[in-house]
Amino acid sequence: MDEQRFMAYIRENQGLLNKLIGLYANDPEEKKDLYQEVLYQSWHGRQSYRNEAKFSTWLYRVCLNTILTHKRKQKIVTYTDDVEPLAPAIQHQALATEDSKRLYQAIRRLAESDRAIISLHLDGYDNGEIGTIVGISTGNVAVKIHRIKDQLTKLLKH
C-alpha cells in the first residue's frame, strides 16, 4: 500500500482512532503519544493488511493492540470524569450529552477487553467483525455483549 492511499485511509478513520484512544487515555499528552504510536505501528504493519476485511477493522485491531500493549507497560489504568462524546448514534438523542457522558464513564469502568467489545458494538460492527478484531469466536462475542450490557445497566443504575 502506498503512502497516499494509507494516509487517505487514516484520515477516513481518524474519528475511530480518537474515540478508541479516548476510551483508554485521558491525559492529552498520552492521547497524542498513543495516536502517534498507532500511526507508527499501522504504517510499519501496513503490508499485513490483505483486503480480506475492511481497512477500518484491521486498523481498529492495530489500534487496540497498540493501546493494550502501552497500558500493560504502564501497569496502571486511571479513570477520570473527563468525557468526550461517544458515538454519533448516541449524540442525536434528546439527552445525548448527559447520557453519553454517563455511558462513557460506565464503559471506562469495564475491563479493557470489554471496553473494546462494547465500543465496536456501538460503532456498528457485527459480531463476526468484532470476533476477528479481538480474537474470539462470534458466539463468544454475543455472550460477552449480553454480559457487558448487563454490567453497564448495573453501573448506570448506581
Domains of the chain, earliest start first = 1-78 (1.10.1740.10), 86-158 (1.10.10.10)
Place of cell 479493557: 112
Joined grid coordinates for residue 1: 500500500
Contact indicator for 16, 10 with CB cutoff of 8 Å:
no
pLDDT at 96: 58
pLDDT at 139: 93
pLDDT at 64: 87
pLDDT at 50: 81
Distance CA 136, CA 153 (A): 24
pLDDT at 91: 45
pLDDT at 147: 95
pLDDT at 94: 42
Residues of the chain with pLDDT under 50: 77, 79-81, 83, 86, 90-95
